Amino acid sequence: MNLLEFEGKALLRESGIRVPPGQRVTSPDQLQTMHYPVVIKSQVPIGGRGKSGGIYVADTVDDAKEAYERIRKLRIKGYLPSAILAEEAVQIRQELYFSLSVDRRNKMELLLFSEAGGMDIEKVDKDRIRAINIDPILGLQDYQLAQILLHATIEEKAKVGLKQVIRGLYGAFKARKLELLEINPLVLDSAGEWVCVDAKIVVDDNLCHKNSQEAAKAPSSFEEATHGLGVNGVELEGDIALITSGAGAGLATIDELKSHGGTVRAFVDLGSLVYDKDKMMEVIELVYDLKPKVVLFNFYFQVARCDTLSEAIVNSLRDIPVVVRTRGKYEEEAREMLVQHGCYATSEFNDAVLKTIEMLSGERTAHGNLG
Amino acid sequence: MAILVDEKSRIIIQGLTGKVGRIFSERMVQNKTPLVGGVTPGRGGSVDSYGVPVFDSVREAEQATQADWSLVCVPALAVRDAVIEAIDAGITHIVVYAEGVPAHDALAFLDYASLKNVAIFGPNSAGVFSPGRANVSDLDDRIVESGDIGIVSKSGTLTYEVIEVLKQIGLGVSTVACLGGDPLIGTEYVQLLKEFAEDEQTKIVVLLGEPGGDLEIKAANYIRQMKKPVVAYIVGQNAPRGKKMGHAGALVSSQEETAESKKEILQNAGAYVVSTLTQIPNVVKSLQDRNGCAITR
């Protein structure tokens, strides 16, 4: 999960790392008591805010209030701000890029450092970026830190402070098990202190507990709604809704459907929800709401029961053709129940795929006749 | 001979008496997988519902049973500790079944395992299974027959389907190994391809991959020098870019990591690449027909 800047900075502050004095603004009155100039920053989950007018440096309270009202309503790449952050402006003497992340390919931690701070790191020349893999068991070594800073053009006194800041950031990265901790820019201010002027932090989804505020927010998309029920759902533009258990089998089913000219309206991997009839029905309802032309259920269970699934299916039927492939415990009972309720039921993967395609062309013909 | 796990393996389950552990214990006992014990701290000295001895720690289990394999069936947030305990006790092969292990936890125990020369399958692995010998996976013993096809896969559910289509043309499996669907996993394709290359029972290897990561690309470099034929299927050729379509590991971060690109790289390395699941039996069959049982390229 990506934290917004103000959430990320709160995390840094808790870890004893310096960020600019500031606050989340919910009423313009809060802007009255700050030390000016103040930076008004839109809190959106996407980069490029500066260029889109989402960041403004205000010299006076009136100026700041005006900017607050303007930025509050400013949509950036489709996003309205979730919050507005007001911070006292930092006098910049030098700015750096710094990040820590999980390096999947090398199975190590990765530290990136560059003197080209404040720029999009993807656009910085490779030879201006220092990359160091850190062994997750040993942690950041002194020699590595020395290597990173050896040829950097930074005053000696500031280097000492910078080492401390990097140690602190590394500590927070480890303690919070962060997937990404990116400070860009990391700024040396006029008082000779290092300050994290921006923060992009990704926390591990496996460690996130949805807070009540988030749960209360109405899900706005199929993806979010299915995610809220604990499954992965993807909405696409095609005809067939595919519901499976397991990522690999699901993708293989899509490949097979496409090889016969089928297109996918939605794909849902029920995962471990296959034990919970009621939750499954909620997911199925969401899928039907997308009005697919055919729904294909493709299930090959090793542990879960087919009859739990078939009950969920027959209890949520609508006027949309349904093809079900079941393998596993109680598969025959499941198919019997499904056939009784007018579904097409089979034990074979390929049969299910071909039948789905056939129903789809039947659907097309039917509409053709009406037209 | 199958690879990795067989009737001489000595397997324990960590989390034996838990919800998941119990299911595996019952199945292993029923199907004569050499399950020699299990660990549930505080319940040492007893036996579980299927007569399997319970120990308080992996070290005690190892001392009493000379266990060399562990199936870790503890919740995701307890996996790190369980794996490190198993490594410290001298276990050499570990299957991590749980999905949702934090990345930093995986980094740490994968690093420790590689330093101690321990093979980890997973996290988020469906396990390893040599039919008729030993089953340390969630595959149902009844659906898999012994034979000469080796399977190495990231996805458990896709593996079931492949076993099914091979069975329909009368082919069984030497060993099936699932690497796991997470972005950070231990054992990779290359190690298993090496084992399969030297295994007499295995005549053809089926490699099942997905978009994201570079493991299939590393595999292609090894396939280049292999004599045994490798049939490869990369799922998700039709998955839209930038959408999470399943495994956390299947997120594409560079052009090279797409299914199309992996397919091409594998093809150029000499693998027999298919585009759909239902093409696998035809290709395997034609490879078999070409040289009878002793297939070489």
pLDDT per residue as tens digits for the range A34-56:
999 999 999 998 888 888 999 99
Is residue A117's pLDDT more than 50?
yes
CATH of domain B11-121: 3.40.50.720
Q: What percent of chain A has pLDDT over 70?
A: 94
Contact between A360 and A239 under an 8 Å Cβ cutoff? The reply is yes
A225 and A342 part of one domain: yes
A65 and A106 part of one domain: no
Q: Which CATH number does the domain housing residue A134 bear?
A: 3.30.470.20
Residue B137's identity, in one-letter code, is: S
Q: Determine how β-strand B127-130 pairs with β-strand B173-178.
A: antiparallel
- Show which of residues 195-254 on chain B sit within 8 Å of chain A, judged by CB atoms: 208, 210, 213-214, 233, 235-240, 243-247, 250
In a domain, A238, yes or no: yes
Q: Of these residues, B22, B80, B203, B247, which one is catalytic?
A: B247
Quote the number of domains for chain A: 3
In a domain, A262, yes or no: yes
Q: Does B90 touch chain A (CB under 8 A)?
A: no
A64 and A36 part of one domain: yes
Nearest residue to A18 via CA among A201, A169, A173? A169
A300 and A353 part of one domain: yes
| Cα distance between residue B188 and residue B157, in whole Å | 18
In a domain, A16, yes or no: no
Q: Which CATH number does the domain housing residue A52 bear?
A: 3.30.1490.20
Q: For chain A, what is the radius of gyration of the CA atoms?
A: 27
pLDDT per residue as tens digits for the range B67-87:
999 999 999 999 999 999 999
A33 and A151 part of one domain: no
Is residue B244's pLDDT more than 90?
no
Instruction: Please tell me which residue of chain A has the smallest CA distance to B275.
Output: A255
The whole-chain average pLDDT of chain B stands at 92
**Nearest-CB residue to B184 (from A104, A245, A269):** A104
In a domain, A15, yes or no: no
B247 is catalytic: yes
Structural fold of domain B144-291: Rossmann fold (3.40.50)
End-to-end Cα separation, chain B, in angstroms? 21
Say if the Cβ atoms of A251 and B236 lie within 8 Å. yes
Is residue B127's pLDDT more than 50?
yes
In a domain, A3, yes or no: no
* Domain boundary assignment for chain B: 11-121, 144-291
A62 and A120 part of one domain: no
A293 and A265 part of one domain: yes
A106 and A42 part of one domain: no
Say if the Cβ atoms of B157 and A327 lie within 8 Å. no
| Cα distance between residue B44 and residue B58, in whole Å | 11
Q: Report pLDDT for A368.
A: 43
A225 and A340 part of one domain: yes
Nearest residue to A118 via CA among A217, A180, A57, A47? A47
Q: What angle do CA A13, A16, A21 make, to 5 degrees?
A: 40
Q: Does A191 touch chain B (CB under 8 A)?
A: no
Q: Does B163 touch chain A (CB under 8 A)?
A: no
Indicate the range of A120-124, A208-212, B28-32 predicted with least confidence. Answer: A208-212
Helix (H) or strand (E) holding B64: helix B58-65
| Residue-range definition of the domain harbouring residue A198 | 92-204
Confidence category of residue A363, pLDDT binned at 50, 70, 90: low
Confidence category of residue A210, pLDDT binned at 50, 70, 90: very low
Q: Report pLDDT for A303.
A: 80
In a domain, A65, yes or no: yes
Residue A171's identity, in one-letter code, is: G
Confidence category of residue B250, pLDDT binned at 50, 70, 90: low
Say if the Cβ atoms of A254 and B101 lie within 8 Å. no
Nearest residue to B199 via CA among B162, B149, B233, B273? B149
pLDDT per residue as tens digits for the range A326-350:
999 999 999 999 999 999 999 999 9
pLDDT per residue as tens digits for the range B176-213:
999 999 999 999 999 999 999 999 999 999 999 999 88
Say if the Cβ atoms of A104 and B183 lie within 8 Å. yes
Confidence category of residue B295, pLDDT binned at 50, 70, 90: very low
Contact between B103 and A102 under an 8 Å Cβ cutoff? The reply is yes
Contact between B62 and B89 under an 8 Å Cβ cutoff? The reply is yes
Task: Give the C-alpha distances (Å, rounded to integers) separating A323 from A109, A132, A351, A353, B144.
Answer: 46, 52, 10, 9, 26
A108 and A235 part of one domain: no
Q: Report pLDDT for B107.
A: 98
Q: Report pLDDT for A371.
A: 32
In a domain, A115, yes or no: yes
Rounded to an integer, the average pLDDT of B220-227 is: 96
Indicate the range of A168-172, A234-238, A321-325, B41-45 predicted with least confidence. Answer: A234-238
| Cα distance between residue B67 and residue B85, in whole Å | 13
Q: The pTM is what?
A: 0.90
In a domain, A157, yes or no: yes
Is residue B8's pLDDT more than 60?
yes
Q: Report pLDDT for A211.
A: 41
Q: Report pLDDT for A29.
A: 93
